[in-house]
Amino acid sequence: MKPAFVAALLMVVAGGAVHAQAPVVPGPQASPKLVEEITEQDRRLFDLVFIRCDAAALAGMLADDFAFFHDKFGQIASSPQQFVTNVREGCEAQAKGVNVRARRELVPDSMAVYPMSNYGAIQTGSHRFYGVETGKPDQLRETGKFFHVWRQVDGQWKLSRVYSFDHQPAR
């Protein structure tokens, strides 16, 4: 095609697009049912990772394209298998007394859920992490924020992406 023809075609298409714009409509809003479902997935996720150390059950929650990004460590998992291995190894180190056992607490009223049409949902929020030692009160160690992308696959929620950021030492 000749450059002048392509330029003219682009002007016609772009000009038509300007005049035929559809009205702006809001994105979908989270229903109470969706918020409840994602809240339950959040509770289950952190229970499996921090309390039960159940890597096998955790694997069933992860999407095939799972990836985890952390502000302090970079991309810590590029597949569900890698994340499950990381969790399993962390739990084994805790059992040997090498790593501090931890507990995660969702900051009340910090979670928000945003539906993603034909895909799933985005979940955002803030959380606190505590060190747990037998016979001692749990000690707040740090706070952080998160952004999770959940995908609905055959009626089941699967975690596709984790972005964990703004970690700050406890004060």
Rounded (5°) CA angle 154-158-159: 160
d(CA 115, CA 29): 6
124-155 pLDDT tens trace: 999 999 999 889 999 999 999 999 999 999 99
Please give, one letter per residue, the 3-state secondary structure of the chain.
Answer: CCHHHHHHHHHHHHHHHHHCCCCCCCCCCCCHHHHHHHHHHHHHHHHHHHHCCCHHHHHCCEEEEEEEEECCCEEEECCHHHHHHHHHHHHHHHHCCCCCEEEEEECCCCCEEEEECCCEEEEEEEEEEEEECCCCCCEEEEEEEEEEEEEEECCEEEEEEEEEEEEEECC
81-111 pLDDT tens trace: 999 999 999 999 988 888 888 999 999 999 9
Report the topology of domain 29-169: Nuclear Transport Factor 2; Chain: A, (3.10.450)
Give mean pLDDT, residues 51-63.
Answer: 96
3-49 pLDDT tens trace: 555 444 445 445 545 556 889 999 999 999 999 999 999 999 999 99
d(CA 50, CA 57): 13
Q: Where do the structural domains in the chain lie, given as residue ranges?
A: 29-169
Give mean pLDDT, residues 61-78.
Answer: 98
pTM above 0.85, yes or no: no
pLDDT for res 100? 84
